[in-house]
Amino acid sequence: MTGKHPKPHQATFDAIRRIDATGSEYWLARELAPLLDYAQWRNFMQVVDKAKLACQQSGNQVSDHFADISKMVEIGSGAQREVEDVQLSRYACYLIVQNGDPSKPVIANGQTYFALQTRRQELEDDRKFAQLNEDDKRLAIRNELAVHNKHLAAAAKDAGVDSPLDYAIFQDHGYKGLYGGLGAKEIHARKGLKKSQKILDHMGSTELAANLFRATQTEEKLRRDQPRDKTQANRTHQAVGQKVRQTIQELGGTMPEHLPAPESSIRQLESAKKKQLKKKET
């Protein structure tokens, strides 16, 4: 029964996987390098540097996935010396094998392994998300959207969207694409919100998810296409918004402007969560 035996590369990558005190998995670059057929550290570090750049360009915090560390190793006769190493997340390993020498068979194996494992984790996260109630889904998506909006702002800035006014106009183009021509002011009015209230805090999970998709896809397209000025960046944002709207329509979904506003805002949900935590602590 060969199906019961793990593939060699999977067993090998799993063999050097470590778990820290918090239960999080990680790999060490010094152990990963020979496994990926890199005999010389300096050559492997060139690949690590490329992976770090790819991590940064994707809008992720490099230090969250590549942690520079040092350790003492024996060099003979009981003597020790300090050597540098890098503590790697699963995502960091994935980026390393993606930027490795494609002529090495083990690199292809590594790409398969880390891609499959990453997908398994995504499916597990999806399962956990599906079990959340509506309020918890809203909180989870809103928090993720806050992070991706920062990445989107950075990508827009690279395209010449510099001032707060520029960014407001840029955001408005995205809303107009997604909401069939309605800008932030019109959406704000339709929801019956006060001037100080944020429209993203008064969306249900479905509407928030549509806006999260708009934000992530716009960021990726801006980084990929590298528009020359803010006018092109605005057009890109609106075009992505329109594409998301078209997808919703093709799937038979409700247009975002017709989705009901929840009774409680995100701030109210967060406040209620804090009160619950305080009660548990006492």
Q: Which among 90-104, 172-186, 251-265 has the top mean pLDDT?
A: 172-186
DSSP character for 201? G
- pLDDT for position 119: 66
Residue 8 pLDDT grade (very low, low, confident, very high; cuts 50, 70, 90)? very low
- Following DSSP, what letter does each residue of 2-65 receive, concatenated? GGGSPPHHHHHHHHT-EE-TTS-EEEEHHHHHHHTT--SHHHHHHHHHHHHHHHHHTT--GGGT
Residue 1 pLDDT grade (very low, low, confident, very high; cuts 50, 70, 90)? very low
* Percentage above 90 pLDDT, the chain: 52
Which residues of 77-180 form beta strands (DSSP E)? 79-88
Q: What is the mean pLDDT of residues 115-129?
A: 72
- Kindly list the distances between the CA atom of residue 256 and the CA atoms of 9, 181, 190, 211, 245, in Å, as whole numbers in the listed order: 46, 12, 11, 9, 8
Regarding predicted confidence, which is higher, 149 or 14?
Answer: 149
Q: What is the pLDDT of residues 53-100, one digit of tens each?
A: 988 887 788 998 999 998 777 776 777 788 899 999 988 998 898 888
Residue 236 pLDDT grade (very low, low, confident, very high; cuts 50, 70, 90)? very high
Residue 2 pLDDT greater than 50, yes or no: no
- pLDDT for position 14: 81
Cα distance between the two ends of the chain: 55
Q: What is the pLDDT of residues 197-228, one digit of tens each?
A: 999 999 999 999 999 999 988 998 998 889 98
- pLDDT for position 118: 66
DSSP character for 261? P
Q: What is the mean pLDDT of residues 183-193?
A: 94
* Rounded CA separation 257/191 (Å): 9
Residue 40 buriedness (CB in 10 A; 0-12 / 13-18 / 19+): exposed
255: left (phi over 0), alpha (psi -120 to 50) or beta: beta
pTM of the model: 0.59
- pLDDT for position 10: 53
Regarding predicted confidence, which is higher, 250 or 102?
Answer: 250
Domain ranges of the chain: 2-126, 132-266
Residue 124 pLDDT grade (very low, low, confident, very high; cuts 50, 70, 90)? confident
